[in-house]
């Protein structure tokens, strides 16, 4: 039984090495890294630009602060340090996260739409090239000359 387990582990390791050595794993890793960085950008855009602007329109305060409700306030010690964080319902934070998601979804939608357009254009171009290749080739000049010679020969025999 131990030998079967060793073979199974070796097979698993070999399969894992094949999986890792494929190029699409690297592509996926790059995609995750870029997506993480893009997520940070959109989060900053929402938290640092959009939410304060909405708050300014709603009376000059940050909307996150207005909509986050403190149920139990934080407890401070004599030095002013937080001992207990308290309880806060973060509706403003939640709305900011929803806006963040909508922005990311919009950008992903636009990227996918542009990719699909480019792919359709490439497929259309490929079909056009295939249609040009499939057109029947006309007779060569030698074939035409042979045909003319044969026709002239027929006419001369008929006279």
Provide the CATH number for the domain around residue 106. 1.10.1200.120
The pTM is what? 0.52
- Total residue count of the chain as it appears in this document: 159
Q: Are 62 and 55 in contact (CB under 8 A)?
A: yes
User: Which range of residues forms the domain containing residue 53?
Assistant: 18-73+84-135
pLDDT tens digit sequence for 55-110 = 788 776 666 777 788 888 888 888 878 777 778 888 888 888 888 888 888 888 88
Instruction: Give the rounded distance of the alpha carbon of 120 from its chain centre.
Output: 17
Domain count, the chain: 1
């Amino acid at each position: 039984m131990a030998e079967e387990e060793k073979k199974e582990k070796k097979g698993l390791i070999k399969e894992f090495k094949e999986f890792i050595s494929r190029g699409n794993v690297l592509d996926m890793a790059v995609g995750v890294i870029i997506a993480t960085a893009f997520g940070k950008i959109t989060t900053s855009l929402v938290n640092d630009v959009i939410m304060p602007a909405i708050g300014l329109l709603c009376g000059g305060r940050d909307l996150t602060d207005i909509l986050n409700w403190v149920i139990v306030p934080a407890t401070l010690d004599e030095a002013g340090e937080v001992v207990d964080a308290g309880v806060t319902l973060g509706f403003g934070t939640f709305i900011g996260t929803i806006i963040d998601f909508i922005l990311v979804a919009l950008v992903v939608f636009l990227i996918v739409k542009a990719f699909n357009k480019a792919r359709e254009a490439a497929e259309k171009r490929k079909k056009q090239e295939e249609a040009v290749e499939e057109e029947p080739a006309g007779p060569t000049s030698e074939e035409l000359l042979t045909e003319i010679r044969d026709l002239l020969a027929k006419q001369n025999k008929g006279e």
